[in-house]
Structure 1
Amino acid sequence: MEKLSNLITLVGILMASPAQATSLHDAISNNDFKGFKAILASEKDKLLELRDELGRTPLLYSTQLNRVEMAKILIENGADVNARDAKHDTPYLYAGAEGKNEILAMTLEKGADLKSTNRYGGTALIPAAEKGHLETVKMLLKTKINVNHINRLGWTALLEAVILSDGGETHQKIIQELIKGGADVNIADKEGVTPLQHAQRRNYTKIVEILKAAGAR
């Protein structure tokens, strides 16, 4: 299924008209709202899923630049919130990973695939937790996303919130949210090291306390 999805993405990139893709992407890049609407109105059905040289649809590009109003118009007109680029990102996955919460909310309302994964095999929740996007984590935990999903590195969102953080207050809160959301505090990494052991090795005293209180070993 993944190979078929990649093939469809490649075909979409090859079929895109470079001039059309460039004009719409340029309007997004320049935050030219008037031009954006004019271009989209001319041939909406042909333009929504056109790709640039990196395989990004207008919606994904709008998401990356946090052009909220442009993203809203594209989504309202039927843009695919799960369309992948050459890096395996989608508007939904990118919004989640980078804390673009306004756009994330719109993708969730329009059928975001909660089981979809990025190039590291992680759901949107994992990078959101790692990068310290507390409100994003809260939003995602209100969905049916798998809080204990393990990526190709062998890490859950909880493990990444420990291993790749500074142990500060934001990540402490994220870890608490993950635990409230059902995170298994004893899922270890590929080497058998648990979140508690990682926190102890880094002298993250507060996180150690949080994990122990939740039954971590």
Structure 2
Amino acid sequence: METKLFLILISFIFTLQSCEAQQNLNSSSAKMTKQDVIKAINQNDTIAVVNAIQRGFDINTIDDEGRSLLLLATIEGNYEMAKLLVIQGANVNQQANNKDSAFLYSGATGQTKLVELFLANGARFDIFNRYYGTALIPACERGHIETVKLLANTKDFPIDHINRLGWTGLMEAVILGDGSLKYQQIVQILKDADANMHIPDHDGITPLQHAEQRVFKEIVAIIKS
């Protein structure tokens, strides 16, 4: 009898401790500030972020630079965190003070898996970066082959968009690239996706002429073929 009472008492104590721990967790989560949530994003703490969202924290909250939680997760390269935020309704097109959005940034940094996620969740093609460029143009400049391939072959993507410098993705691959294999592949991808090979810059110089000036023989051959 005494043993039975003892076990009941122990069970009761554990139950009280469990309830107290849960109350502390709830209280802590309820008090999470914007900075707490941003810290959780940067540390890839999905549990803390889920708790904050469940308690009504605004999914599209921004930091002092206008960067959304989703953009911060994208900057950190945290795919699972970004996916969580997107599922919860984060805006993939929300722009920071410098015009970056999660979609534009993922393209510029060659995070193809994130680009694919954002394309499937409302990425817009009429929102541009601070150079009035698309997600494709900096991907071409930086040699992100898989990202270029994905975007260039996405239906209705503006493959021939011209930024305020007067350059298309093709032009940036030629002018800002080094003519190496990855840039040759990018030019070929753009050509195969029916990009216009002849759009000139503000000075009237075509991609072919720029490639010839830089003695990028392989790229010249691709453009001419």
Shared fold by TM > 0.5?
yes
Query: How large is the RMSD of aligned CA atoms in angstroms?
Result: 1.2
1:22 counterpart (29, 35, 38): 35
Q: What amino acid maps onto 2:59 in structure 1?
A: L
Normalised by the length of structure 1, the TM-score is 0.86
Give, as a single letter, the amino acid of the residue that structure 2 aligns with 1:98: T
* Separation of aligned partners in 1, 2:55 and 2:81: 16
Structure of greater Rg: 2
Pick from 173, 178, 191: which aligns with 2:203?
Answer: 191
Does residue 1:141 correspond to 2:148, yes or no? no
Quote the residue 2:68 is aligned against. 57
Distance 2:41 2:98 in 1: 20
Calculate the TM-score normalised by the size of structure 2: 0.83
Partner of 1:37 in structure 2? 50
Cα displacement string for residues 84-128 of structure 1 (whole angstroms, at most 9, x for unaligned residues): 100111111111111111211111011100222111011111111
Residue 111 (str. 1) matches residue 114 (str. 2): no
* Residue aligned with 1:208, SS: helix
Q: Quick one: distance in 2 between partners of 1:186 and 1:89? A: 29
* One-letter amino acid of the counterpart of residue 37, structure 2: L
Partner of 2:95: 84
Paired with 1:80 and 1:30, the residues of 2 have a C-alpha distance of 21
2:84 to 68, 73, 80: 73
Deviation of 1:191 after TM superposition, in Å, equals 0.5
Contact 1:155 1:189 (8 Å CA) reproduced: yes
Runs of 4+ in 1 over 4 A off after TM superposition: none
Please point out which of 159, 174, 180 is paired with 2:186.
174
1:15 match = none
For 1:142 and 1:207, the matched residues in 2 are separated by 20
What SS is found at the alignment partner of 2:127? coil
**Structure 2 unpaired stretches of 5+:** 1-31
Q: Say whether the 8 Å CA contact 1:131–1:165 is kept in structure 2.
A: yes
Give deviations 1:164-186, integer Å, cap 9, x for gaps.
00110001000001011111111
Partner of 2:16: none
Q: Secondary structure at the match of 1:47?
A: coil
Query: Which structure 1 segments of 5+ residues have no match?
Result: 1-18
Taking every aligned residue pair, what percent have the same amino acid on both sides?
42
Match of residue 101, structure 1, among 112, 115, 129: 112
Match of 2:173 in 1: 161
Pairs aligned (count): 193
Separation in 2, partners of 1:22, 1:167: 44
